[in-house]
Amino acid sequence: MYIFIAASGELTLRDSDNMRAFSIVEEESGSAAKWLAAIATPAAEQHYWLDANAVIELSARMQDETWVQGFWDMLASVEAYGYSDMENKRVKAHLEQS
């Protein structure tokens, strides 16, 4: 799954059934910091820490309890590798270079 940042600034969660990957894709290179400011903080090496609840709200499946539980399970499974922070309900994603 990935957060797509449209040139207009609209954020959407795409490929949301892919619980094996998570990234950020910009339509317009260099726009991530501006458009993610409300839900994310920059991290090292082209990564961002995103509010996990905000990510859920971007999903068309946010009302699907099975999908939401799968998302939380994904975050729990990657916490040991430093890609989530369950206590603070954050997920780390890399910004794909275009």
In the prediction, which pLDDT does 75 show?
Answer: 97
Spans of all domains in the chain? 2-95
In the prediction, which pLDDT does 83 show?
Answer: 96
Model confidence at 98, in pLDDT bands (50, 70, 90)? low
pTM: 0.93
Nearest alpha carbon to residue 6 among 23, 28, 39, 22? 28
List, in order, residues 6 or more apart from 37 with CB less than 8 Å away: none
In the prediction, which pLDDT does 97 show?
Answer: 73
In the prediction, which pLDDT does 41 show?
Answer: 96
For the chain, the residue count is 98
Find the helix or strand (DSSP H, E) in which 47 lies: strand 47-51
Q: Fill in the DSSP letter of residue 86.
A: T
Interval 58-89: pLDDT, tens: 999 999 999 999 999 999 999 999 999 999 99
Residue 40: both structure tokens together:
């994310």
How far apart are alpha carbons 61 and 92 in whole angstroms? 20
Interval 8-56: pLDDT, tens: 999 999 999 999 999 999 999 999 999 999 999 999 999 999 999 999 9
Q: Is residue 4 within 8 Å of residue 15, measured between CB atoms?
A: no
